[in-house]
Structure 1
Amino acid sequence: MPARRGPPARRPRRGSSRGGRVEAAWKEFVASFARASMVPPADGGLAAVEAAEGAAVLLLAPQQTLTFTGKCRLRCLYGAVRLLGFAVASHQPALPVFSPATHCALTLETLPPARPPGADLRQLRAAARAAMRAHGVRRHARVKAMARFAPDCALVLLEHLDTPVTRYLLSHPPLSRLFEPPVSPAPGPVPALPFSQQRKEESNFTPEDAVLASVGIVKCSAEHGLLVSESMVLALEELIQACCAEDEGVPLILVCGPKNTGKSTFNRYLINLLLNRLPSVEYLECDIGQTEFTPPGCVSLSHVTEPLLGPPFTHQQAPRRMVYYGLTSCEQDTERYLDVVKSVFNSYKKEVPLVVNTMGWVKGEGLLLLIDLIRLLCPSHIVQMDVYDWKAMVPLSPDYVHLTAGLYTKGKQQAKCRQMRASGAEPWSPSEGAGDAPEYKLLYIHPEFPRAGAAGEARVHSSILRDAAILGYLGQLQCPDVGALLPLHSLLPYQVPFRAVALRVIHTDVAPNNTLYALNASWVGLCHMPDEVQGQGEAPVLLTQTPVCDCLGFGIVRGVDMEKKLYHVLTPVPVEKLRLVNCLLLGSVAIPNCVLVGQQGVQGEIPYVTSDYNYSIMGSGKLRKKHFKRREFDCDYT
């Protein structure tokens, strides 16, 4: 697709956290506004009314939008709305919605309603009123909402949302303001002001804002939402048409591009659009650094049936197939990375469209590896994302991929000389790099959000998102009922005999007598090997090579009992799957610092953490950069 120049660059997005705490008097002021009746905005804008405690009814006029941060449960009572590409109608159940400050804000927009044939205004009003009554909307709220009702409007019920996962995430200080709106342009924290001064400073805070705040969301400027460029619209239209056409086969869509160009957001938007028309979509995760449905370090194949209305840490789920690579970058072992991708990809049945996410490493060997990946997967469409005036990669046209050698595969030009070799091992080559040029459609997208392509900022951001994904996974350990949070050290771990599982450290060489030291207090993949584990006596079973095997989930080895020959493993994986686990893989993915440093109820010295560490020891540099020091292993394994 020829390059299309979009509109001028927009202003940079503001910060992602809000400084200062709100005083109790200000909270009372917000609550008093939330109890107010219908807000009749003079400019014909949003209309909101408190429907019940922790709930609000939002009336959206035709073509009206609401961009917001926060979290809530959303249900469409009348008409239809769209959120990140997914259309929500009145017959659908309530959906959890997450719009944190770490990502672009979500935007709710009104869609033209599908009216019943022959329905008049009285019938439409009756249907809207009945829907509000059925979902517990108070009478005065129904009256106020119907005063502004129009046949083409949308009525949305927003409810306060509190889940074990979000409560666990917010309990850690680094993420405690995850769902708060961006700060003002002025640097530094917002000072706490007396009540009278706050009313003056917050003169822009309307009663409508208070109604939304009582639910848990905050309206923000449209510039904080997803900026859909013209090239993105054209690409989405073509992909939707290809996926819904019944006579062209099942599309395989590979999305690639540099870091921080919006690949993950595009994938969610595309999947949501497809779910409007198809019952399910498959998703192949090849970006081991920024995974969508699993903790980092995995290649996985997921079956998606529900819309993605939040970032990865809000929808962690067990994929159809998963292999734990053990690192967040594949530069150390690219050959094993391709073997892992090939193993997971073989589980794809080609019954529904497949969306493939790739890494942002597109320079040097990263580009060559991407060419190998294209030859392995044979996509029908490639979506290449790049930014204006910052060409990080060449256009991956079929001719270019056909002629260019990859990291392990040969291009057409080099394949001619293959028979001239008298000896030497042949490289790994799924398509041998010869034959006809690959047949796929290249769709070129220019993202237009602020700071697109700023890879340096993306690297800092990535570590935060990886920690959030792990915390989102660990949040599944919390009780599903709303109640007090349980610290991890208070939960009962599983006891695993030494002889029942084999061990392997993936990312580095560890002496056998030090393996248990490395394993203790570590994040591990719980895997299943087809071969039986065979050990000698009660000693730990150590593998000499990293197997490419199914990963069933993850856990924390919170202790090693040397007397009873047991590992103590904390994991949310159900028992029926744990019976299949016979291998523990330890990679470079670490437990987030806040889990160990911020343990509730621990007095005195924190286990596994020390402030006295010799940084001259080889291998300590990365831990020092993260301001985290692992404790010397001179403690009990209990």
Structure 2
Amino acid sequence: MPARRVRPRRVPSRCAAGERRDEAAWREFAASFRRVDAVPPGGAELAAVEAAEGAAVLLLGPRQVVTFSGKCRLSCLFGAVRVGGFHVEPHQPPLPLLSPPTHCALSMEALPAARPAHSDPRQLRSAARSALRAHRVRRQARLRVMARFSPECAVLLLRHLDTAVTRFLLSLPPLCRLFQPRVGLGPPGSSAAPTPRRPDGRSARRHDEPDVPAEAAVLAAVGVVPCGPERGLLLSDSTRGALQELLRVCCEEDEGVPVIMVCGPKSIGKSTFNRYLINLLLNHLPSVEYMECDIGQTEFTPPGCVSLSNVTEPFLGPPYTHQRTPRKMVYYGQSSCEQDTERYIDVVKYVFSSYRKEVPLVINTMGWVKGEGLLLLTDMIRLLSPTHVVQMDVYDWKAMAPLTPENVHLAPGLYTKGKQQAKGKRMELSAAEGWKCSEGEEDASAPEYKLLYIHPEFPGAGAAGEARVHSSILRDMSILGYLGQLQPPDAASVLPLHSLVPYQVPFNAVALRVIHTDVAPTNIMYAVNASWVGLCRIPDEIRCQSAGPVLLTQTPICDCLGFGIVRGVDMEKHLYHILTPVPPQSLRAVNCLLLGNIAVPNCVFVSQEGIEGEIPYVTSEYNYSILGSGKLRKKHHPKKREYTLQCDDT
């Protein structure tokens, strides 16, 4: 994508489509931070000592568990500790831990350290003391730690965590208390005022706050607040059994490389299970492949993507804190595939073709498991040929049949037929030609995989309406986490997005396509301006003799290299102004912009600092009676997946 940087300019205002449907959910979400009940846990007494400014040493006794909210950077100085399934030991680099109230809280559990049976206690004390010195723990703190030390302890160093992404998230008013629950809050429903923050982002204690135990205050100064174990991850017996079985097969690899597909309804805990499983596997394997097929709740990318990622490090936080560029990614452009399942299948097969079967693969699926969703899931199992299917549901769930190999072999899919089905729905898609069956034929062989049943037992499991945070909020937060990468890592303060310098891209250098609906060429620039776009690469060379724009007549299945916001459109100079964190070396390969049904979060427009007067693109006087002002839903019928380039001189 030929591009050079230009100075920002004030773009012309345009009417937004009024208050978004999830605005009420955002208000409820922001208010929920005033109801966080963060109290020191019961059980064994905490042993925490201030080690330095913004750092604390925490001693955990054998098998002691501390569940917490907040964020910190963890180093294990002595012993071993497990966090989110990953074992942290002294030889490993510091790990960022992010435990906001949007997800179940993280827990640190002391583990028995692997050492010789007849180790000398004096040598172990000496090793612990040396580790404290090496990390520059204050002498007085070292003395206090060693006074309570025993060889069975785990000695942890917690440091204040501050990154460009967390600073950007905390700069937005709805998220200003995302990682800062207060110690000693009253019961849920109390209307405590937000805790003020220091310039470095940490919370400053108010004079009217109640006294708290010294150990809890030490941890709170780092950014960590202990809380009750009920807020952490609750592993049922069936979950533990499935994790042990999957760990065994992935480490042994007696029968090839495992392909694990995780299925279940919404809000059942699929993503949490996947994170724990991958972290557990990384204790024994150098890497794990992860394929994201849930376009509504993605793990490593903004919403609307199907992707394949190679995971080499544990991820100990929610998706919006670890956005990264996958090895293979396609921008589907919507948070649900119900309106165009044919293209969704095309995209899944295209991404899956990049898997080389060298390391275990974990596949996440959508929570749409009713009606056509279950039929589509049956097709997915036949297409991806997993070796293990993890089916998650609650005991009284009736809408999802058991996904046994026998049932999948007999049942019809959305586009494939079962053994006893006379005729299946036919696909005319090039990516699914391998599935076509002639009249009267049956699928040749039954799928071969092992089914593992999991019954999560956390409160509200499987009840989408009782989710901790509305799904639309989490999608917006993933976009905000991605945009946080625009912040310079060494900046002293957060830079508003409108102050950053965008790239300028000529109209005729990139092809343009609106994915989710039809837009007249004369209105295409109104749709693109101030929109979220996928920066993609199509194999065709862009050739346009005029100034453009270049329009695609069909949506291509192509690689997506990242995302950006169309900051403005210069119709006189025929330029797009695009704000993106994608590095310049990757931007050179971009020759296509895809606009989908994923919107820029409202707070990007209305909550940025430094804007005075009228805010561009925002209005409170929008006429909803105007034809086309509502959200369009268009059912896409099967069509041949071809596209052509069209130059528009308008």
Q: Which residue of 2 aligns with 1:175?
A: 175
Instruction: State the shift of 1:437 in Å.
Output: 1.1
Q: Which residue of 1 aligns with 2:144?
A: 144
Instruction: State the shift of 1:18 in Å.
Output: 3.3
Q: Note if contact 2:103-2:468 (Cα within 8 Å) is conserved in structure 1.
A: no
2:383 is the counterpart of 1:376 = yes
What is the DSSP-based 3-state SS (H/G/I as helix, E as strand, rest coil) of the residue aligned with 2:63? coil
Instruction: State the shift of 1:189 in Å.
Output: 1.5
Instruction: State the shift of 1:16 in Å.
Output: 8.6
CA deviations 1:543-572 (Å, max 9, x no partner) are 000000000000000011111111110000
Q: Note if contact 1:16-1:101 (Cα within 8 Å) is conserved in structure 2.
A: no
Distance 2:395 2:35 in 1: 38
Q: Note if contact 1:164-1:475 (Cα within 8 Å) is conserved in structure 2.
A: yes
Distance 1:330 1:354 in 2: 23
What is the DSSP-based 3-state SS (H/G/I as helix, E as strand, rest coil) of the residue aligned with 1:18? helix
The 3 A distance-change label for structure 1 pair 185 and 395 is farther
The 3 A distance-change label for structure 1 pair 239 and 592 is same
Q: Which residue of 2 aligns with 1:595?
A: 604
Q: Which residue of 2 aligns with 1:499?
A: 508
Q: Note if contact 1:297-1:327 (Cα within 8 Å) is conserved in structure 2.
A: yes
The 3 A distance-change label for structure 1 pair 425 and 158 is closer
Q: Which residue of 2 aligns with 1:18?
A: 33
Instruction: State the shift of 1:118 in Å.
Output: 4.9
Q: Which residue of 2 aligns with 1:10?
A: none
Q: Note if contact 2:486-2:580 (Cα within 8 Å) is conserved in structure 1.
A: yes
Aligned amino acid, residue 603 of structure 1: E
Instruction: State the shift of 1:55 in Å.
Output: 0.1
CA deviations 1:402-445 (Å, max 9, x no partner) are 01111111111125x68xx9x99699464556122111011111
Q: Note if contact 1:18-1:190 (Cα within 8 Å) is conserved in structure 2.
A: no
CA deviations 1:373-424 (Å, max 9, x no partner) are 1110000000011012233311111011101111111111125x68xx9x99
2:323 is the counterpart of 1:338 = no
Q: Note if contact 1:69-1:217 (Cα within 8 Å) is conserved in structure 2.
A: yes
CA deviations 1:573-615 (Å, max 9, x no partner) are 0000000000000001000000001121111110000111111
Aligned amino acid, residue 568 of structure 1: H
What is the DSSP-based 3-state SS (H/G/I as helix, E as strand, rest coil) of the residue aligned with 2:161? coil
Q: Note if contact 1:172-1:594 (Cα within 8 Å) is conserved in structure 2.
A: yes
Return the TM-score normalized by structure 2: 0.86
Distance 2:74 2:42 in 1: 26
2:218 is the counterpart of 1:211 = yes
Q: Which residue of 2 aligns with 1:523?
A: 532
Distance 2:356 2:449 in 1: 20
Q: Which residue of 1 aligns with 2:155?
A: 155
Q: Which residue of 2 aligns with 1:446?
A: 455
| Aligned pairs, number | 585
Distance 1:145 1:540 in 2: 67
Aligned amino acid, residue 559 of structure 2: D
Instruction: State the shift of 1:108 in Å.
Output: 0.3
Structure having greater relative contact order (Cα 8 Å, sep ≥ 6): 2
2:191 is the counterpart of 1:189 = yes
Instruction: State the shift of 1:534 in Å.
Output: 2.3
Instruction: State the shift of 1:617 in Å.
Output: 2.6
Aligned amino acid, residue 489 of structure 1: H
Aligned amino acid, residue 275 of structure 2: R
What is the DSSP-based 3-state SS (H/G/I as helix, E as strand, rest coil) of the residue aligned with 1:240? helix
2:143 is the counterpart of 1:135 = no
Distance 1:500 1:293 in 2: 29
Equivalent of residue 565 in structure 2, options 551, 556, 559: 556
2:519 is the counterpart of 1:510 = yes
Aligned amino acid, residue 315 of structure 2: L
Q: Note if contact 2:511-2:591 (Cα within 8 Å) is conserved in structure 1.
A: yes
Distance 2:349 2:508 in 1: 31
2:410 is the counterpart of 1:414 = no
Aligned amino acid, residue 567 of structure 2: R
Aligned amino acid, residue 440 of structure 1: Y
Q: Note if contact 1:386-1:392 (Cα within 8 Å) is conserved in structure 2.
A: no
The residue correspondences of 1:273-288 to structure 2 (distance < 5 A) are: 273-288=280-295
Aligned amino acid, residue 131 of structure 1: A
Q: Note if contact 2:177-2:194 (Cα within 8 Å) is conserved in structure 1.
A: no
Larger deviation, residues 42-51 vs 249-258: 42-51
Distance 2:120 2:142 in 1: 20
Q: Which residue of 2 aligns with 1:112?
A: 112
Q: Which residue of 2 aligns with 1:630?
A: none
Structure 2 gap segments, 5+ residues each: 1-28, 196-205, 633-650
Distance 1:307 1:393 in 2: 32
Aligned amino acid, residue 18 of structure 1: F
2:180 is the counterpart of 1:202 = no
What is the DSSP-based 3-state SS (H/G/I as helix, E as strand, rest coil) of the residue aligned with 1:214? helix
The residue correspondences of 1:310-459 to structure 2 (distance < 5 A) are: 310-414=317-421, 428=432, 430-431=434-435, 434-458=443-467
Instruction: State the shift of 1:536 in Å.
Output: 3.8
Distance 2:33 2:481 in 1: 22
What is the DSSP-based 3-state SS (H/G/I as helix, E as strand, rest coil) of the residue aligned with 2:563? strand
Q: Which residue of 1 aligns with 2:78?
A: 78
Aligned amino acid, residue 175 of structure 2: L
Distance 1:16 1:91 in 2: 41
Distance 2:631 2:606 in 1: 17
What is the DSSP-based 3-state SS (H/G/I as helix, E as strand, rest coil) of the residue aligned with 1:545? coil
CA deviations 1:151-195 (Å, max 9, x no partner) are 1110000000000100101111111121233965442422699xx
Q: Note if contact 1:281-1:304 (Cα within 8 Å) is conserved in structure 2.
A: yes
Aligned amino acid, residue 258 of structure 1: P
The 3 A distance-change label for structure 1 pair 134 and 208 is same
Larger deviation, residues 287-296 vs 184-193: 184-193
Return the TM-score normalized by structure 1: 0.88
Distance 1:393 1:78 in 2: 47
Distance 1:250 1:263 in 2: 21
Distance 2:373 2:287 in 1: 31
Aligned amino acid, residue 138 of structure 2: R
Distance 2:427 2:377 in 1: 25
Structure 1 gap segments, 5+ residues each: 1-13, 22-38, 624-638
Aligned amino acid, residue 169 of structure 1: L
Distance 2:35 2:427 in 1: 65
What is the DSSP-based 3-state SS (H/G/I as helix, E as strand, rest coil) of the residue aligned with 1:557? strand
Q: Which residue of 1 aligns with 2:552?
A: 543
Q: Which residue of 1 aligns with 2:313?
A: 306
Distance 1:390 1:618 in 2: 42
Distance 1:188 1:62 in 2: 36
Distance 2:467 2:375 in 1: 22
The residue correspondences of 1:221-260 to structure 2 (distance < 5 A) are: 221-260=228-267
The residue correspondences of 1:21-40 to structure 2 (distance < 5 A) are: none
Instruction: State the shift of 1:456 in Å.
Output: 2.2
Q: Which residue of 2 aligns with 1:633?
A: none
What is the DSSP-based 3-state SS (H/G/I as helix, E as strand, rest coil) of the residue aligned with 1:208? helix
Q: Which residue of 2 aligns with 1:103?
A: 103
CA deviations 1:193-223 (Å, max 9, x no partner) are 9xxxx999835x2111100001001000000
CA deviations 1:255-296 (Å, max 9, x no partner) are 010000000000000000000000000000000000000000
Aligned amino acid, residue 605 of structure 2: L
What is the DSSP-based 3-state SS (H/G/I as helix, E as strand, rest coil) of the residue aligned with 1:546? coil
Instruction: State the shift of 1:457 in Å.
Output: 3.7
Q: Note if contact 1:20-1:192 (Cα within 8 Å) is conserved in structure 2.
A: no
Equivalent of residue 268 in structure 1, options 258, 261, 275: 275
Q: Which residue of 2 aligns with 1:91?
A: 91
The 3 A distance-change label for structure 1 pair 70 and 425 is closer
Aligned amino acid, residue 276 of structure 1: N
The 3 A distance-change label for structure 1 pair 174 and 191 is closer
Cα-Cα RMSD: 2.6
Q: Which residue of 1 aligns with 2:22?
A: none
Distance 2:469 2:627 in 1: 24
Larger deviation, residues 450-459 vs 497-506: 450-459
Stretches (4+) displaced over 4 A: 41-44, 198-201, 423-433
CA deviations 1:321-355 (Å, max 9, x no partner) are 00000000001100000000000000000000000
Q: Note if contact 2:169-2:484 (Cα within 8 Å) is conserved in structure 1.
A: yes
Q: Note if contact 2:239-2:456 (Cα within 8 Å) is conserved in structure 1.
A: yes
Distance 1:72 1:17 in 2: 22
